[in-house]
């Protein structure tokens, strides 16, 4: 395994099932809340956030940075995860100059439809009402 390879126990897709800071009722509002850790083309979707993820292994798990859009507003942030004894992930996600929350995720299959790219601010004004 190369230094930048994601450890097998973290590799793949994870279903985000709970957050500590945001009300989890709307977690799937734009599709199943998920994050991937493969080291290539990783994605994050939860609430109204769509983001590209850049992850790397650490001594205690995986850390990541992300860049995307919350609705149509550009946002960036960072986070980290570690494996719990029950096989779930526990993690923290931070929005730059904003909120942070812990989350819990369970192993999942890759979604049948790819998670879309984050929308741009320009897309907001192109939308037809």
- The number of distinct structural domains making up the chain is 1
Q: Report the percent of the chain where pLDDT is more than 90.
A: 78
Q: In the prediction, which pLDDT does 125 show?
A: 63
**What is the model's pTM?**
0.89
C-alpha distance from residue 69 to each of 6, 52, 62, 121 (Å): 25, 10, 22, 9
Residue 96 covered by a domain: yes
* pLDDT tens column, 40-98: 999 999 999 999 999 999 999 999 999 999 998 999 999 999 999 999 999 999 999 98
> What's the domain range around 103?
12-126
Angular region, 122: left φ>0, alpha ψ -120 to 50, beta rest: alpha
Residue 51 covered by a domain: yes
The enclosing domain of 68 has a CATH number of 2.40.128
Q: Report the percent of the chain where pLDDT is more than 70.
A: 90
> What does the mean pLDDT of the chain come to?
91
Q: Which residue has the higher pLDDT, 25 or 43?
A: 43
């Amino acid at each position: 395994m190369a230094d930048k390879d994601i450890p097998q126990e973290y590799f793949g897709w994870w279903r985000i099932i709970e957050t500590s800071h945001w009300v989890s009722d709307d977690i799937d509002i734009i599709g199943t809340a998920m994050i991937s850790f493969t080291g290539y083309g990783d994605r994050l979707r939860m609430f109204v956030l769509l983001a590209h993820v850049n992850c790397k292994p650490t001594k205690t798990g995986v850390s990541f940075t992300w860049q995307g859009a919350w609705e149509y507003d550009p946002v960036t942030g960072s986070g980290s995860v570690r494996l719990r004894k029950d096989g779930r992930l526990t993690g923290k996600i931070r929005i730059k100059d904003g909120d942070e929350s812990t989350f819990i995720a369970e192993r999942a299959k890759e979604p049948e439809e790819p998670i879309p790219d984050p929308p741009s601010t320009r897309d907001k004004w192109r939308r037809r009402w």
